[in-house]
């Protein structure tokens, strides 16, 4: 194992717990940077980027409505969804302590919920705020909130889950994808857990879910070997108390923030201890950053498109919210071309990882996005530098370029915007080292 230098380890902290460094961020030490990212406190940049209220979605046209009315309703919802996605990208860039937005982004992928079925940007934003509120807190609190979240209920058919006719979608995905993993529950557990979750309903024009007592099954359920009159909260507590839950949740975080290679048994045991009975996300992240694998130069990760774009915007000082409407639309179009738009995961399983983002079509979309960002960036410091290739590396927080990349960058160094574009699409930036 080759251990990262102090500067490279600080860069990794910003890449994995944030969206990459801004100018000056790599001048701090590792311990100071970690404490700053995980220490909480006021965030003036985030506070100055308040969440919009798109209002309730338009009423869904009736079956007898003509095509024009249906198309108008679709466009209205799409406009709200575009506003929500654009705002969140801007918030990622504006935040002074990007760790909260970065972990909110992780939880959005973990508890993947899609606007394409929810059809209520207001509810998607409400879920987003819930995930932000608990991003670095207790996974217990987060899981309890998600199981009765209105957007989640609409996404996984919670409105169809009632006493006498339980719908199993939410109970199955909650155990399989969110808390336990395949093989740690039975089909009987799914059926009985669905009964525990009966009665919760959500409306697209409301702001919270409601428990309708007459729709809830008050009978005894037998789940994971335990029998009781379980409801939503006690079901969550039962599941999270299983010995398989902590390793599963930790494994998901590890795969996205450290390495696609699972942690060895001794490492996992230490992380489970740090996570503890309170299921403390902050304590877990502190423990993860202290592990040898986090400091191993060989544990690289391909950046997801949103992570890559947010990091590039931060590094070059470009705020999406300050661009004109056309440019903002082009940024979101580029994300769509790369296959990842906030609030629109492809399924409840979330987005892909690793090499799946390195397709030819995604590369073209990435190039277009990099060109757009470079066109709006202040690259004066690079233009004045004697070694422009090194200067763009410093701006992007890249520790070193390979000989091949340096040669390609040297070939376009006479045009700093082209230089920035090529550097942003280079392997050393697209992959988090």
pLDDT in tens, 95-126: 999 999 999 999 999 999 999 999 999 999 99
Whether residue 275 has pLDDT greater than 90: yes
Sequence-separated (6 or more) residues with CB below 8 Å from residue 129: 51
Whether residue 433 has pLDDT greater than 90: no
Q: Tell me the C-alpha distance between 339 and 354, whole Å.
A: 13
Phi-psi region of 90 (alpha: psi -120 to 50; beta: other; left: phi over 0): alpha
> Would you kindly state where each structural domain of the chain is located, as residue ranges?
301-432
Instruction: Please tell me the pTM assigned to this model.
Output: 0.97
Closest CA to 196 of 214, 167, 172, 221: 221
Q: Tell me the C-alpha distance between 387 and 268, whole Å.
A: 44
The confidence score (pLDDT) of residue 208 equals 93
Contact indicator for 366, 303 with CB cutoff of 8 Å: no
Could you tell me the sign of the dihedral formed by the alpha carbons of 175, 128, 273, 278, in that order? negative
Pairing of strands 221-223, 210-211: unpaired
- What residues are paired with 228 via a beta bridge? 221
Contact indicator for 90, 49 with CB cutoff of 8 Å: yes
Contact indicator for 130, 149 with CB cutoff of 8 Å: yes
* pLDDT mean across residues, the chain: 96
Confidence of residue 65 (pLDDT cuts 50, 70, 90): confident
pLDDT in tens, 310-348: 999 999 999 999 999 999 999 999 999 999 999 999 999
DSSP secondary structure string for all residues of 212-241 = -GGGS--S-EEETTEEE---HHHHHHHHHT
Closest CA to 428 of 261, 302, 306, 292: 302
pLDDT in tens, 197-220: 999 999 999 989 999 999 999 999
For residue 9, give both structure tokens: 């380890």
HSE at residue 268, side-chain half, CA atoms within 13 A, is 16
């Amino acid at each position: 194992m080759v251990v990262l230098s102090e500067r490279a380890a600080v860069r990794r902290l910003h890449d994995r717990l944030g969206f990459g460094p801004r100018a000056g961020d790599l001048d701090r030490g590792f311990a100071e940077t970690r404490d700053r990212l995980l220490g909480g406190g006021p965030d003036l940049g985030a506070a100055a980027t308040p969440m919009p209220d798109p209002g309730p979605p338009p009423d869904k046209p009736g079956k007898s409505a003509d095509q024009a009315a249906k198309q108008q309703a679709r466009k209205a919802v799409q406009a709200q969804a575009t506003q929500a996605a654009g705002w969140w990208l801007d918030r990622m860039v504006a935040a002074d302590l990007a760790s909260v937005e970065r972990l909110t982004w992780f939880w959005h992928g973990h508890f993947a919920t899609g606007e394409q079925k929810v059809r209520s940007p207001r509810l998607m934003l409400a879920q987003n705020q819930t995930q932000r509120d608990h991003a670095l807190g207790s996974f217990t609190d987060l899981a309890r909130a998600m199981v009765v979240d209105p957007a989640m209920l609409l996404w996984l058919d919670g409105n169809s889950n009632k006493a006498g006719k339980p719908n199993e979608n939410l109970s199955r995905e909650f155990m399989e994808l969110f808390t336990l993993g395949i093989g740690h529950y039975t089909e009987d557990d799914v059926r009985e857990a669905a009964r525990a979750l009966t009665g919760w309903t959500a409306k697209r024009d409301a702001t919270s879910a409601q428990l309708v007592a007459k729709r809830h099954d008050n009978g005894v359920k037998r789940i994971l070997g335990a029998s009781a009159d379980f409801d939503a909260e006690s079901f969550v507590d039962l599941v999270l108390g299983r010995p398989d839950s902590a390793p599963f949740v930790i494994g998901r975080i590890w795969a996205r923030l450290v390495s696609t290679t699972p942690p060895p048994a001794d490492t996992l045991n230490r992380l489970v201890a740090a996570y503890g009975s309170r299921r403390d996300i902050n304590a877990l992240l502190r423990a993860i950053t202290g592990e040898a694998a986090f400091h191993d130069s060989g544990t690289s990760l391909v950046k997801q498109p949103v992570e890559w774009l947010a990091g590039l915007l931060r590094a070059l000082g470009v705020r999406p919210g300050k661009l004109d409407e056309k440019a903002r639309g082009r940024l979101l179009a580029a994300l769509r071309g790369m296959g990842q738009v906030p609030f629109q995961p492809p399924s409840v399983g979330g987005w892909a990882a690793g090499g799946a983002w390195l397709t030819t079509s995604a590369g073209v979309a990435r190039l277009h996005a990099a060109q757009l960002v470079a066109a709006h960036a202040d690259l004066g410091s690079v233009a004045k530098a004697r070694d422009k290739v090194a200067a763009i590396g410093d701006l992007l927080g890249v520790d070193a370029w390979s000989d091949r990349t340096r040669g390609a960058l040297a070939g376009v160094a006479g045009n700093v915007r082209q230089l920035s574009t090529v550097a942003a699409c280079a392997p050393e930036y697209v992959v988090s080292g």
